């Protein structure tokens, strides 16, 4: 609640409860907060009386019943420090982590209870009932019409006779959902047989629709195929698709998709048309490495403020294989053939009628705690690609892109985020330029804010030329403001060069700014305002960016 807002007794009670929790969180176990109201003419004055009481400290920990993990293991998990303020919520969180550790090592019946004795300081007592170490017994799979049992069982990474492991059960649930065959997946514990030291598992699923036609209209933030080496763009589009997720009752998937869209802010002029056909073979032989075959076609037409235009028409075929290890590691390999025709400034003659034969590889290691709102962890991506050479085609070059993002939780929901991004390209024949749509670009809502989309780096008559070396870094402080509103302060540094030999420190550009975020079910929507630094930008105004999701 804030000054000038409407009085809401439920909201007030919730805020008082949060304040009491804050005190308890910091060891003030006896804290009490009472409120009183003073009603005036059209206003209410709220008076909060806080009785903090004594701040308690954790004196010692007494552990009993444990044999699998030592007392030192427990003290490390609960982050015990004699004399530290007693934080009951943090201890409970850490004990849940200890429960998970047991369940991942064969102890599904583990039970941990904690209690305290409060005097001048707090003594914590932890009582453990580990239960027996169990293997997995029978795996009972529910019968589902049109989905053979082996389709379900092959997605499970648990097997009879193995040591019980909760992490593998959760991963099995995720894999079943990824098939797109089920609306609901439940893997539950069943009968325990102490004589054989086993526990049975029940797998229950509810099938989803296998076939459907859908249409969507909305706003989307993303990197489009015809400008994959640029910042993500906000677009307004209309799309329609038909899919079948259980072809021949083998869980093979087919999807046909068409889309027309426009880049913000030219939302009333269709600028793109896409057509894609996807066929997905979920398993290659006995390996869970989905293979996607994707014939594609697109046409895009850019028009700038001076009515200069650039258009690109392309069609081709790509094959993608994907391997995932839990939610953390993803490896993709790509083979692609495409034919492209582009025209308009600032392209060169060699940009016309380009044929490309490409192979690529992408490795992603993602240890963020949350996809939309990361508080700690990191994400590392490296993506090398090769076009031509022994593959043939009209062009020969290699590209390497890599990024590393890291996150630190200072306190509450206040987070420091950092990103480092590098991209470099090498041409076999310097006289043959890399096609315009395949070059690197910089500037926009997710790289150097304060500059227009793609407008940082070499230009010709005000049009971006792209380059072969891109290097930038971002520093961002993210914090809550009120309810669903958040804010950020950022510093962006970097530039784009035509060639590696052109890069100098003196060319590095910087921008500072601030942003507002709004929490939505699909992640944060944000408005950032960046201001370029440096004497050469003294007469330039800042740049506003509207986007969905954080910059990195």
DSSP per-residue codes, 241-272: EEEEEEETTTTEEEEEEEEEEEETT-TTS--E
Range 102-106 contact pairs with CB under 8 angstroms and sequence separation of 24 or more: 102/68, 102/69, 102/130, 103/164, 103/165, 103/166, 104/165, 104/166, 104/167, 105/68, 105/133, 105/163, 105/165, 106/133, 106/134, 106/135, 106/163, 106/164, 106/165
User: Using CA atoms, how far apart are residues 366 and 379, in angstroms rounded to an integer?
Assistant: 4
Q: Are 374 and 347 in contact (CB under 8 A)?
A: no
Phi–psi pair at 451, nearest 5 degrees:
-120, 150
Write the CA distances from 111 to 67, 132, 197, integer angstroms.
13, 11, 18
User: Using CA atoms, how far apart are residues 348 and 388, in angstroms rounded to an integer?
Assistant: 19
Task: List the pLDDT tens digit at each of the 552 positions of the chain.
Answer: 566 677 788 888 888 888 888 888 788 888 888 888 888 777 888 888 888 888 889 899 999 999 999 999 999 988 887 788 888 888 888 999 999 999 999 999 999 999 989 888 889 999 999 999 999 999 999 989 899 999 999 999 999 999 999 999 999 999 999 999 999 999 999 999 999 999 999 999 999 999 999 999 888 888 877 778 888 888 888 999 999 999 999 999 999 999 998 877 665 566 889 999 999 999 998 899 999 999 999 998 876 555 567 788 999 999 999 999 988 999 999 999 999 888 876 666 666 668 889 999 999 999 999 999 999 999 999 999 999 999 998 889 999 999 999 999 998 899 999 999 999 999 998 888 888 888 999 999 999 999 998 899 999 888 889 999 999 999 999 999 998 999 999 999 999 999 999 999 989 999 999 999 999 888 899 999 999 998 788 778 889 999 999 999
Helix (H) or strand (E) holding 98: helix 88-103
Q: With the C-alpha atoms ordered 347, 349, 355, 358, is the resulting torsion angle positive or negative? A: negative
Within 10 Å of residue 392's Cβ, how many Cβ atoms? 10
pLDDT of residue 427: 92
| Mode of pairing for the β-strands spanning 122-129 and 58-64 | parallel
Domain ranges of the chain: 9-51, 58-129, 135-207, 211-548
Nearest to 272 by CA among 224, 232, 309: 224
Q: How far is CA 209 from the centre of its chain?
A: 27
Contacts of 205 (CB under 8 A, 6+ apart): 142, 144, 147, 152, 176, 181, 182, 184, 185, 186
User: Using CA atoms, how far apart are residues 206 and 186, in angstroms rounded to an integer?
Assistant: 9
Structurally, at CATH architecture level, domain 135-207 sits in: Roll (3.10)
Q: Are 501 and 519 in contact (CB under 8 A)?
A: no
| Mode of pairing for the β-strands spanning 354-366 and 377-387 | antiparallel
pLDDT of residue 545: 93
Phi–psi pair at 99, nearest 5 degrees:
-55, -45
Contacts of 60 (CB under 8 A, 6+ apart): 82, 123, 124
Burial 77-102 (b: 16+ CB within 10 A, else e): bbebeeeeebbbeebeebbeebbebb
Say whether domain 211-548 belongs to CATH 2.40.160.50: yes
Q: Vertex 516, ends 510 and 518: CA angle to 5°?
A: 140
pLDDT of residue 308: 65
User: Using CA atoms, how far apart are residues 424 and 229, in angstroms rounded to an integer?
Assistant: 11
Q: Are 256 and 277 in contact (CB under 8 A)?
A: yes
User: Using CA atoms, how far apart are residues 506 and 498, in angstroms rounded to an integer?
Assistant: 15
Q: What is 189-249 written as a DSSP string?
A: EEEEETTTTEEEEEEEEEE--SEEEEEEEEEEEE--GGGTTS--EEEEEEEEEEEEEEETT
Write the CA distances from 46 to 20, 40, 56, 434, integer angstroms.
16, 11, 29, 66
- DSSP secondary structure code for residue 149 in this structure: H
Same fold, 135-207 and 211-548: no
| Mode of pairing for the β-strands spanning 309-325 and 291-303 | antiparallel
pLDDT of residue 303: 65
Class of the domain covering 58-129 = alpha beta
Q: How far is CA 208 from the centre of its chain?
A: 25
């Amino acid at each position: 609640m804030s000054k000038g807002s409407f009085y809401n007794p439920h909201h007030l009670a919730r805020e008082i409860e949060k304040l009491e929790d804050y005190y308890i969180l910091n060891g003030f176990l006896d804290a009490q907060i009472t409120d009183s109201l003073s009603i005036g003419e059209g206003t209410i004055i709220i008076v909060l009386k806080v009785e903090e009481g004594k701040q308690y400290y954790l004196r010692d920990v007494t552990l009993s019943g444990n044999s699998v993990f030592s007392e030192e293991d427990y003290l490390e998990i609960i982050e015990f420090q004699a004399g530290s303020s007693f934080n009951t919520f943090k201890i409970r969180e850490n004990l849940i982590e200890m429960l998970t550790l047991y369940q991942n090592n064969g102890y599904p019946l583990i039970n941990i209870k904690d209690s305290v004795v409060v005097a001048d300081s707090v003594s914590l007592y932890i009582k453990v009932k580990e239960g027996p170490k169990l293997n997995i017994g029978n795996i009972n799979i529910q019968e589902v019409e049109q989905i053979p049992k082996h389709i379900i069982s092959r997605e499970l990474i648990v097997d009879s006779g193995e040591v019980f492991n909760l992490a593998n059960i959760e991963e099995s649930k995720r894999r079943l959902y990824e098939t797109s065959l089920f609306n609901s997946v439940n893997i539950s514990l069943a009968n325990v047989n102490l004589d054989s030291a086993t526990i049975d598992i029940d797998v229950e699923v509810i099938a989803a629709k296998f076939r459907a036609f859908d249409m969507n209209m909305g706003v989307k933030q993303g990197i489009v195929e015809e400008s994959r080496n640029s910042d993500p763009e906000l677009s307004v589009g209309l799309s329609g698709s038909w899919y079948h997720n259980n072809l021949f009752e083998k869980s093979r998937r087919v999807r046909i998709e068409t889309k027309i869209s426009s880049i913000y802010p030219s939302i009333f002029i269709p600028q793109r048309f896409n057509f894609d056909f996807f066929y997905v073979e979920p398993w290659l032989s006995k390996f869970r490495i989905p293979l996607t075959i994707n014939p594609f076609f697109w046409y895009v037409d850019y028009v700038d403020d001076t009515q200069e235009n650039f258009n690109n028409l392309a069609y081709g075929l790509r094959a993608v294989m994907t391997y995932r290890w839990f939610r953390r590691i993803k490896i993709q390999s790509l083979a692609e053939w495409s034919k492209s025709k582009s025209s308009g400034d600032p392209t060169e003659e060699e940009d016309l009628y380009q044929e490309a034969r490409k192979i690529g590889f992408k490795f992603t290691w993602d240890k963020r705690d949350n996809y939309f709102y990361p508080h700690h962890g990191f994400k590392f991506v490296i993506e090398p690609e090769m076009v031509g050479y022994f593959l043939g085609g009209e062009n020969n070059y290699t590209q390497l892109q890599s990024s590393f993002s890291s996150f630190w939780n200072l306190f509450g929901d206040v987070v420091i985020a950092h990103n480092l991004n590098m991209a470099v390209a090498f041409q076999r024949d310097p006289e043959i330029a890399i096609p315009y749509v395949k070059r690197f670009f910089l500037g926009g809502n997710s790289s150097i804010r304060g500059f227009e989309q793609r407008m940082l780096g070499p230009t010709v008559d005000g049009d971006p030329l792209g380059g072969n070396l891109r290097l930038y870094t971002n520093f961002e402080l993210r914090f809550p403001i009120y309810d669903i509103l958040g804010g950020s302060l950022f510093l962006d540094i970097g530039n784009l060069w035509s060639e590696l030999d052109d890069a100098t420190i003196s060319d590095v550009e910087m921008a500072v700014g601030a942003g507002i975020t709004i929490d939505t079910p699909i992640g944060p929507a944000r408005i950032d305002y960046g201001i370029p630094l440096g004497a050469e930008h003294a007469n330039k105004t800042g740049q506003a960016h509207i986007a969905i999701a954080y910059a990195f």
